[in-house]
C-alpha cells in the first residue's frame, strides 16, 4: 500500500510540475488559503493537485 501511495504522490507531483510549466503565471493560486476561513476552489486542477500533495 505504501508503494501505491508513493507512486500516486509522485504522479500528482509530476502532473503539477507539467501544469505549472505550461502556465505564464500562477495567479490561480492567489486565492489559496490555509487558515480555514475560506474553502479552496476545487474546480481548479492546479489547486486540486497542490492540496493532494500537502
pLDDT in tens, 3-23: 999 999 999 999 999 999 999
Q: Lowest mean pLDDT: which of 1-5, 7-11, 36-40, 46-50?
A: 36-40
What 3-state DSSP class applies to 43? coil
- Dmax (CA) of the chain: 37
- pTM above 0.85? no
The upper half-sphere exposure of residue 39, i.e. CA atoms within 13 Å in the direction of its Cβ, equals: 3
Q: How far apart are the first and last CA of the chain?
A: 19
Amino acid at each position: 500500500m505504501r508503494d501505491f501511495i508513493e507512486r500516486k504522490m509522485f504522479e500528482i507531483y509530476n502532473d503539477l510540475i507539467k501544469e505549472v510549466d505550461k502556465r505564464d503565471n500562477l495567479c490561480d493560486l492567489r486565492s489559496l488559503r490555509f487558515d480555514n476561513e475560506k474553502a479552496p476552489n476545487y474546480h481548479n486542477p492546479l489547486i486540486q493537485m497542490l492540496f493532494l500533495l500537502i
